[in-house]
Amino acid sequence: MLHEWPTAIRLIARRRGLALAIVLTLAAAIGATSVIFSAIDAVLFRPLPYPAGDRLVSVHEANARQQQATSLVAPVKLEEWNRMSRSFEGLAGTYFENMADTSGPVPERVEAMRTSARFFSVLGTRPALGRTVNAEEEAFGGPPVVVLSDAFWRARFNADPSVIGRSLMLDGVSRTIVGVMPPSFRYPTPSTDVWIPAPMSPRLMTVREARYLQVVGRLAAGVDVGQARKELHAIQQRLGEQHPQTDKDWTATVSPLKEEQVGRVRQALWLLFGAVLVLLLVACVNIACLLLADATRREQEIAVRSALGASRWMVIEQLLLEGLVLALTGSLLGLLLAHWGIQGLHRLATGLPRAAEIAVDWRLVAFTLSVGCLTTLLFALVPAWRATRREVAERLAHGGRAQIGGHQRFQRGLVAAQVMLAIVLLVGAGLLVRSFLHLQQISPGFDPDHVLTFRVSAGWGEPSESVANRQYRTLERLREIPGVTSAALSAFVPGGSDFIPPQELEVVGRDTGEQDFAVRLNVSADYFKTLRIPGLQGESCRDEVRPDDTRKVVVNRTFARRFFDGENPIGQQIVLGASGEIVGVVADVHEQGLLRDPLPTAYYCGLLPFWPDPYYIIRTEPSQAVTLTTIRRALREIEPQRSVFEAATLNETLAESLSQQRLSTILLALFGVMTLTLAAIGLYSMLAQLVSQRRREIGVRVALGAQPAQVLTAIVGQGAVVAGIGLLLGLLGAFALSRFMDALVFGISSQDPVTFAIVSLVLALVAGIATIVPGIRAVRIDPVRALREE
């Protein structure tokens, strides 16, 4: 068979236009399919990059009575679980802390992960250099040490292998570098720079309500998630009996760590993979139509080869070999497109878990070449089989002129299938586009223009009085910057995607017999002024002349309506983690992103002495830009050892909260347009071939008096029938599959009639263009020349 390759390449080179069309079609479809496959492979298929990663689980506390499906874990509870449980080899906790690296001339922000005892042993990954934290360093009062991430080691120390034993000054504490982790170790986030032990003080181990640890556990050998969950539930019940004031009604949840990380994107990824499979199928059908038309034109050549002694299988082998050459060429080009597509995906998929693991590797190469070759050969087999099934004498007698009937019916069926699949994909894309446009039209409840948010590094060990005084000085200095009209701070960035769990609410003097819950946000004075949140009743937060005004509360409209419907909330006393007096009502705000409806929210006024690194929010003059460099320079005057980080405009924050929806919408719309284009090309090719094959017949009709309009109607009518059948079947298929879109659309129905109507009109327009061009060519046929050519 190898000696036939030069012949196959030579025959393909003679038909460069056909070869180019097939290779480009296959490359586009294979490239798109490979990009999404690489994402699914890295995110969903591959195990976590830790030894026996399938035994790692995420553990939370939970309280159904307080509407907390998941909660962080108190250190004392973590130690009790380790002591009382037999289902785990170990459990460890982490919490995030921003630090300032002052080892160099300019403070730099470092994303530090504080780790409890057993952390590195639970995850099981060995360091690339040095060692991890030992028992002495994990104990309270142990020597200060730090373990570096691979990325931080390369960026900060230029991958110097002699870094072990050197010191790193973090938040004023000199820490000895004891190890560097490998590139694959990214727990809990890829952006983690360093891991620092967080020994728990004896006093902290007595506070059972101090829930702030994110817990990961390693299941014991032979134990499944259900068994571990059942055991922890029983342990929690015993602890609830021993500590009813703090642990009653609290239970525990256990879920696979991989599912915890990727579960929220699973449905969207499978939707995109289904979309690219539709695109690939349409591309293959398109290629089959092109090969079928080519085989029809080559019937005379095939007949001559058969007459000279070539068997049917030899001819089929030659045609399949030509298809294999095209498949390999298209697959290699598709692999190059996939490489570029993955680079683009990294830029777009900022919120996709495990995105850093998406890359071109041997699995992707094998998938790309396998899919490209198998699909092309499969769809090349049908044209090859049909082209060789007629007897040699019959083919020679027709002089290479194709018989139309069965061949045309088969090709029409393929084109109708293309249109049907394109409609299904376009409806899905249209629903996501309409849903995304609806989300963008939602008002966040504040004015995001000319508002900048950022944080200033601070350690959690700083005394609360010092924190409050520093926040007060920082706000005052920010207000002095030319161009800054107001400044405020909050524990959470408004409009972000962070979930803020509701807390148990008590309205003083009222006992409804039901448990009420509301969200508590701590904000400084000028928060509502800075964001331009409309006040509805009462007053706003007062200016803090001293950082101790923490009892005045402003509630949103939803809070006032739910808990004080028909009453005046001003002056009412509430307890929401802390007591407070309601002094005002403001409009509802999408504090937790546009995807979540506003919840009953109480804004506790004052500084945040318990939150060292809140978000600072400043509004600037539209005509006078305030750069981040200006802010850093101003703050360095009062805090020379601190760094500014996580700077973003509120518009960027709102856009980031919709990043997953934006990515799914862009990709599905792109795949839909590509599929529609291929379907239109298929429809055009079918009619163009029909006109070419029936050239003599059309010439005879024109010679006998047929009008141009009649010829045009005949050609366009055949295309309209095929497109109409595909449209009808596609709409029925899209309607049947629409229920799978319910969880992915917002503000519209998954059976939105507007979307179905728009897609139908687009298809009609595209199909009209694809059919009118061959029709015009048919009208322009010269009957005299057509009859002479025959």
What was the pLDDT predicted at 396? Answer: 46
Positions in the chain whose pLDDT score sits under 50: 392-393, 395-397, 399-405, 545-550
Q: Which amino acid is at 772?
A: I
Q: Are 719 and 763 spatial neighbours (Cβ–Cβ below 8 Å)?
A: no
What pLDDT shows up at residue 548? 47
pLDDT of residue 695: 65
Report the percent of the chain where pLDDT is more than 70. Answer: 88
In the chain, domain spans: 2-43+269-440+659-789, 67-248, 458-641
Tell me which residue of 219, 253, 251 sits closest to 60, measured CA to CA: 253
pLDDT score for 390: 54
Predicted TM-score of the model (pTM): 0.80
Contacts 24+ apart (CB under 8 A), 732-736: 733/420, 733/423, 733/424, 734/423, 734/424, 734/427, 734/428, 734/759
Evaluate whether 277 touches 367 at the Cβ level (below 8 Å): no
Closest CA to 196 of 232, 168, 157: 168
pLDDT (0 to 100) of residue 219: 96
Spatial CA neighbour of 383 closest among 305, 311, 308, 285: 285
Contact indicator for 164, 82 with CB cutoff of 8 Å: no
| CA 374 from centre of chain | 30
User: Can you tell me which residue has the tokens 């509407």?
Assistant: 67
- Rounded to whole angstroms, how far apart are CA atoms 328 and 341? 19
Answer whether 475's CB lies under 8 Å from 487's CB.
Answer: yes
Structure tokens at 56: 């790692």
**Cα–Cα distances in Å, from 283 out to 330, 379, 415, 680, 770?**
12, 10, 11, 11, 17
Q: Are 527 and 488 a contacting pair, CB within 8 Å?
A: yes
Residue type, 621: E
DSSP 356: G
